[in-house]
Amino acid sequence: MSTPSPRVLVVDDEQAIRHFLRVSLSSHGYDVHEATTAQEALAAVRADRPDVIILDLGLPDGDGIEVTRRLREWSQIPIIILSVREREADKIAALDAGADDYLTKPFGVGELLARVRVALRHAAPSPGQSAFVTGDLRVDLEHRLVSVGGREVQLTPTEYDLLRVLILHAGKVLTHRQLLRLVWGAPYEAETHLLRVNISNLRRRIEPDPTRPRYILTEPGVGYRLCDNPKL
Amino acid sequence: MALSGDRDRQMAREGNTAARSGKMVALGSAATWLPYVYGVALILAATLLGQGLLPFIQPSSNLVVLYLVPVVVSALYWGAGPSIITSVLSILAYRLLFVPQRLPLSLVDDYIMFLTVLIVGLVVSTLATRARDQAALARRAADQTAALYALSRDLAAAGDLDTIARAVVARISQTFACDAAVLLPRGDSLVAQAGTFEMTGDTEEAAALWALRHAQSAGWGSTVHHGAQALYLPLTTGHKVMGVLAIRRAGNDMWREDQRYLLDVFASQAAMAIERAQLAEDARQAYILEATRKMQTALLNSISHDLRTPLASITGSLTSLLDNEVRLDEGTRHDLIETARQQAERLNHLVGNLLDMTRLEAGAMQPVREPCDIQDLIGAALAQLGDRVKERQIAVDLPDDLPMVAMDFVLMTQVLVNLLDNALKYSAPQTIVDISAHLTDTSVQIDVADRGIGIPDDDLPHVFDRFYRVRHAGRVDGSGLGLSLSKGIVELHGGRLTGAHRPGGGTIFSIELPLTPTTPRLPEGQV
């Protein structure tokens, strides 16, 4: 236990939410700091140097998306949005502004803890391992080899690129726009049908049951997420 | 400018009137002297006849009878004036041409004869004039009765304000050969419900409003606001002024008394019809209001029941856990916590549906239609149902060549979640829920079928109504919002959502979405 506990900054104006987050996060070994306004949040990020920020969108003195944008000007600290806003447009706006993840209230603590772990892992320097393994799926990023249950799978170059980008952000939701930019390039940002067709084809090759995907999960209206610990 | 313009128009109008009345005088004189000419012509004819008969008739004094014909004819057809002149000329002609002793008129016979002829002429003319007047009156009365009858027949057939106003305008403009309009109060002003002319200008409006407020006629030919071009009659029903009848006559001839009387009768008929229509409309509104109120009460009851029930379970579970006097074993504690969690989820689902329903009804739900993979859609719906589908067997049957279909992915996922939720709730745990899709020429159809308890025939037409719940479903949680919301969403896409009995038992819900020509079909692996 020589490593210090990860610091989490909780930004929410609801006392009840802050309280239960403090209780549950502390009991899982996190060092919890709190802020109730956008101004406090920006100050606390400089003062407390948190490892991850849990941010509400509706703050009394401003919008969480604006806070995200201002933080991204100088910091890459992972930001998880926690909001009652369930419209896809809000989620996309937050993610495109630089948030790492988005969770709609109400939510389960288990779900939140999983997202926090993913965010912390991405923030840490990657240990340089070249193979990604989850469930039966194994992807050797160095040799561009993909296998499911030990059986090698042939992918088109585009399908492989798509899978690689998802793996590099494993556990994180990527918006349609982000995926299109990362795989096809900025001019293709609006071509969502390209993405849908390739996701569909990729699933047919790596998913045991494409109707109930285990690896590539759809976030309706927002984007896709590669699940890095599929429950069987 | 405006003043001088007004004056110009006024002068022009006066000029017109003068010109027209001049013509009338000329015509009138032509009409008045013509009977005298006819009278003289008749006397000439009688004289010629008398000359012809003179050799055969003795004494010649009997020939005076011949001159009664022009006198009686003049009296009968042209009135007292022509008959007097004809009488005088007849006697003079007779005396000069047929009596040997010529002038002077000295004999008593002469005067008696003269007086007799004159009196006959006057009596006949008086009687004839009276008869003519009475005939004219009778005809006018008949016309007016017919017009009134026609109006009341029209009004009896008219159901709404618009038809009534149009019937009144049509009858009045036809009967009186004038322009007419029915003006009804709306707020502080009067609005034409129907009319053959437009009421424009402050003067007209002031006159119309005066008539409305004072329940007396105003405007042209009355004592108030007589600068107005039209006459405004209040439409009164005895205790209430329903509106104003505007009448404008070309040339602004004065209204005869009987015409004014008839107009008043028309106005009161119209007023009663309007009142009747408004009462009927009020009654209809009251009925709708009452029905809406009842529905809202039912809705509120339903919402409050559906919101309170899960809250009651949550509160109950949590207070049991807090109760220090009872020692709960670990299993019971876990059960209570799990109940609270499930009920919170249910509450969240209900609030979500209520919000969406509100959005849908307010027209704030705008589907973003993009080509979507139906397999992905089904996958997303199953993922949202989470643990609930883990324990159940769901069979998915999709053709390989299913194209991308334009739809709002998020909204359609929600529809599918609602249909699956129903299928899972209303069927036994060991039964299979089937999801299938197939293409037609113009649409794609997605079916969700269960082997559950089915929907009774009576309930089938109502399952899409808000807060409608199948009667025997009492034991199953649900708000009765899911299906109605789903139907709304599918219809936003131009599609149809239908429910039916499934052959062999159970229920089948079908989503039918139109295929748009823009639906792209990319070959596999294309970049």
* B349/B319 same-domain check: yes
Per CB-CB distance under 8 Å, the chain B contacts of A159 are 525
Are the CB atoms for B59 and B9 separated by under 8 Å?
Answer: no
* B384/B421 same-domain check: yes
Lowest mean pLDDT among A177-186, B70-79, B415-424: B70-79
Its pTM stands at: 0.60
> Is the predicted pLDDT of residue B522 greater than 70, yes or no?
no
Strands A173-175 and B507-514: unpaired
* B339/B402 same-domain check: no
Amino acid symbol at B160: D
Query: What was the pLDDT predicted at B467?
Result: 67
On whether residue B229 sits in a domain, the answer given is: no
> Is the predicted pLDDT of residue A155 greater than 50, yes or no?
yes
> Is the predicted pLDDT of residue B513 greater than 70, yes or no?
yes
By a Cβ cutoff of 8 Å, what residues of chain A touch chain B? Answer: 86, 88, 106, 156-159, 184, 192-194, 196-201, 203, 210-213, 217-218, 220-221
Q: Report, as an integer, the average pLDDT of B496-504.
A: 91
Q: Report, as an integer, the average pLDDT of A173-198.
A: 91
> Is the predicted pLDDT of residue B204 greater than 50, yes or no?
yes
Which residues have CB under 8 Å from B45's CB, separation 6+?
A: B70
The verdict on a CB contact (< 8 Å) between A218 and B525 is no
As separate numbers, helices (DSSP H) first and strands (DSSP E) second, chain B gives 12, 12
A158 → closest Cβ in B344, B413, B527: B527
Query: What was the pLDDT predicted at A125?
Result: 61
The verdict on a CB contact (< 8 Å) between A211 and B352 is no
> Is the predicted pLDDT of residue A232 greater than 60, yes or no?
no
Q: Report, as an integer, the average pLDDT of B329-355.
A: 88
Which residues have CB under 8 Å from B375's CB, separation 6+?
A: A200, A203, A210, A211, B398, B402
Lowest mean pLDDT among A161-175, B91-105, B159-173, B334-348: B91-105
* B456/B350 same-domain check: no
Per the prediction, chain B carries an average pLDDT of 81
Of chain B, the percentage scoring pLDDT greater than 70 comes to 87
By a Cβ cutoff of 8 Å, what residues of chain B touch chain A? Answer: 344, 348, 352, 368, 370-373, 375-376, 378-380, 382-384, 396, 398, 404, 408-410, 413, 520, 522, 524-527
* B136/B106 same-domain check: yes
Which residues have CB under 8 Å from B7's CB, separation 6+?
A: none
Domain count, chain B: 3
Phi, psi of A206 (to 5 degrees): -110, -20
Structural Rg of chain A based on CA atoms: 18
As separate numbers, helices (DSSP H) first and strands (DSSP E) second, chain A gives 8, 14
> Is the predicted pLDDT of residue B400 greater than 60, yes or no?
yes
Q: Give B308→chain A minimum CA distance, Å.
A: 18
Q: Tokens at residue B339, please? A: 């109940």
> Is the predicted pLDDT of residue B264 greater than 70, yes or no?
yes
Query: What was the pLDDT predicted at B450?
Result: 93
> Is the predicted pLDDT of residue B519 greater than 90, yes or no?
no
The 10 Å Cβ neighbour count of residue A76 is 11
Q: Report, as an integer, the average pLDDT of B121-149.
A: 87
A201 → closest Cβ in B352, B378, B525: B525
On whether residue B63 sits in a domain, the answer given is: yes
Q: Report, as an integer, the average pLDDT of A116-144.
A: 82
Query: What was the pLDDT predicted at A113?
Result: 92
Return the HEC string of A104-143.
ECCCCHHHHHHHHHHHHHHHCCCCCCCEEEECCEEEECCC
Beta-carbon pairs below 8 A across chains A and B:
67
First-last CA distance in chain A: 31
B373 → closest Cβ in A156, A200, A221: A200
Angle between helix axes A88-97 and A176-183 (nearest 10 degrees) is 40
User: For residues B10 and B16, what is the distance between their CA atoms, to the nearest angstrom?
Assistant: 10
A220 → closest Cβ in B344, B373, B410: B410
Band of the pLDDT at B173, cuts 50, 70, 90?
A: confident
Q: Give A205→chain B minimum CA distance, Å.
A: 11
Lowest mean pLDDT among B15-29, B410-424, B429-443, B510-524: B15-29
Per CB-CB distance under 8 Å, the chain A contacts of B376 are 196, 199-200, 203, 218
* B349/B418 same-domain check: no
Query: What was the pLDDT predicted at B6?
Result: 42
In terms of CATH architecture, what is A7-123?
3-Layer(aba) Sandwich (3.40)
Q: Tell me the sheet residues that pair with A177.
A: none
> Is the predicted pLDDT of residue A101 greater than 70, yes or no?
yes
Q: Give B380→chain A minimum CA distance, Å.
A: 6
Q: Tokens at residue B178, please? A: 């004038």
Query: What was the pLDDT predicted at B3?
Result: 38
* B446/B381 same-domain check: yes
Query: What was the pLDDT predicted at B107?
Result: 66
The 10 Å Cβ neighbour count of residue B291 is 10
Q: Report, as an integer, the average pLDDT of A164-193.
A: 91
Per CB-CB distance under 8 Å, the chain A contacts of B408 are 221
Per CB-CB distance under 8 Å, the chain A contacts of B522 are 193-194, 197
Q: Report, as an integer, the average pLDDT of A160-175.
A: 91
Q: Tokens at residue B442, please? A: 């113009």
* B444/B509 same-domain check: yes
On whether residue B435 sits in a domain, the answer given is: yes
User: Where are the domain boundaries for CATH 3.40.50.2300 in chain A?
Assistant: 7-123
User: For residues B510 and B494, what is the distance between their CA atoms, to the nearest angstrom?
Assistant: 14
The verdict on a CB contact (< 8 Å) between A218 and B396 is no
Which residues have CB under 8 Å from B95's CB, separation 6+?
A: B102, B105, B110
Which residues have CB under 8 Å from B300's CB, separation 6+?
A: none
Task: Give the three-state DSSP class for B237.
Answer: coil
* B452/B478 same-domain check: yes
Query: What was the pLDDT predicted at B468?
Result: 66
Nearest to B483 by CA among B462, B452, B501: B462
The boundaries of the domain holding residue B333 are 308-362
Which residues have CB under 8 Å from A175's CB, separation 6+?
A: A92, A95, A96, A222, A223
- pLDDT tens for residues A40-49? 999 999 998 9
On whether residue B425 sits in a domain, the answer given is: yes
> Is the predicted pLDDT of residue B315 greater than 70, yes or no?
yes
* B43/B115 same-domain check: yes
Q: What letter would DSSP give residue A229?
A: S
What's the burial of B413, exposed, middle or buried (CB within 10 Å: 0-12/13-18/19+)? Answer: buried
Task: Point out the domain boundary residue: B113, B128, B152.
Answer: B152
User: For residues B301 and B321, what is the distance between their CA atoms, to the nearest angstrom?
Assistant: 30
Protein fold of A131-226: Arc Repressor Mutant, subunit A (1.10.10)
A218 → closest Cβ in B376, B396, B524: B376
* B408/B353 same-domain check: no
Query: What was the pLDDT predicted at B100?
Result: 66
Q: Tokens at residue B360, please? A: 């849908």
Report how far Cα A14 is from the mean position of its chain's Cα atoms.
24
Asked if the peptide bond before residue B59 counts as cis, ω within 30 degrees of 0, the response is yes
> Is the predicted pLDDT of residue B5 greater than 50, yes or no?
no
User: For residues B255 and B215, what is the distance between their CA atoms, to the nearest angstrom?
Assistant: 19
On whether residue B496 sits in a domain, the answer given is: yes
Q: Report, as an integer, the average pLDDT of B247-263.
A: 79
On whether residue B276 sits in a domain, the answer given is: no
Best B376, B396, B433, B436 member to test A by mutation, with max A CBs in 10 Å, is B376
Nearest to B364 by CA among B208, B464, B198, B492: B492
Task: Give the three-state DSSP class for A101.
Answer: strand
Band of the pLDDT at A21, cuts 50, 70, 90?
A: very high
* B404/B337 same-domain check: no
Amino acid symbol at B12: A
Q: Which residue, chain included where needed, has tokens 């916590």?
A: B337
Of chain B, the percentage scoring pLDDT greater than 90 comes to 14
- pLDDT tens for residues A60-74? 998 999 999 999 998
User: Where are the domain boundaries for CATH 1.10.10.10 in chain A?
Assistant: 131-226
Task: Point out the domain boundary residue: B93, B123, B152.
Answer: B152
Angle between helix axes A88-97 and A64-72 (nearest 10 degrees) is 20
Asked if the peptide bond before residue A50 counts as cis, ω within 30 degrees of 0, the response is no
Query: What was the pLDDT predicted at B9?
Result: 42
Band of the pLDDT at B309, cuts 50, 70, 90?
A: confident
CB contact burial A101-123 (16+ within 10 A = b; e otherwise): bbbbeeeeeeebebbbbbbeebe
Q: Report, as an integer, the average pLDDT of B325-345.
A: 87
CA quadruple B135, B136, B139, B145: dihedral sign: negative
